[in-house]
Amino acid sequence: MVKSKTEYKLRIPSQTENLELIRAFVGLVANKVGFSEDDIGKIELATDEACTNVIKHAYDPKDQKALDVAIQIDYQKFTVLVTDHGKGFHPDEIKIPDMKEYLAELRVGGLGIYLMRTLMDEVDYKIRPGLSNQVRMVKYFIDKDDSQLVQKRDRK
């Protein structure tokens, strides 16, 4: 059903008012390739979280630039790439919260990257500050929950 390698790209202003459009974009493409409602919801949410981070953290608020969302589809996986051209950050220094502690301490914020990692099969960052900062999120067409991929998903 899916062509050998297909790409969909969206470039829009980095503004929260465009999150709805971003979700519609990834949702329609995910639906087209045959994901379940459940998986479509996960892909939409993970992409929203990645884009919300760009909108909130990547640029100086008075200097809003473009936000890029690309989808790459091959025979085995659906890849979402969210790219900004902002200041970048150190993904390794971001502490992924322990949810028990988080809730016990009534903390606020800091759930985005945790959600992305929980919702998608693979999540990694390629940071080149000032040039481009990219998060890559992958969902496989066949659920590999009980294969070797689990280790990737569970890394801290």
Ligand X SMILES: Nc1ncnc2c1ncn2[C@@H]1O[C@H](COP(=O)(O)OP(=O)(O)O)[C@@H](O)[C@H]1O
* 95 DSSP 8-state letter: P
Closest CA to 116 of 56, 45, 57, 24: 45
Nearer to other proteins, 32 or 87 (CB): 32
* Among ligand X, other proteins, a copy of itself, none, partner that 41 touches (CB below 5 to 8 angstroms by kind): other proteins
Contact 43, 29 (CB under 8 A): no
Position 100: which residue type? K
Contact 115, 57 (CB under 8 A): no
For residue 83, give every residue at least 6 positions away whose Cβ sits within 8 Å of its Cβ, in sequence order, or none: 67, 68, 69, 70, 132, 133, 134
6 is a site residue for a copy of itself (CB under 8 A): yes
* Among ligand X, other proteins, a copy of itself, none, partner that 12 touches (CB below 5 to 8 angstroms by kind): a copy of itself
Interacting residues toward other proteins by CB under 8 A: 16-17, 19-20, 23, 31-32, 34, 37-38, 41, 44-45, 48-49, 52, 55-56, 99-100, 103, 106-109, 111-112, 114-115, 118-119
Interacting residues toward ligand X by CB under 6 A: 49, 53-54, 56-58, 84, 86, 89, 94, 109-114, 133
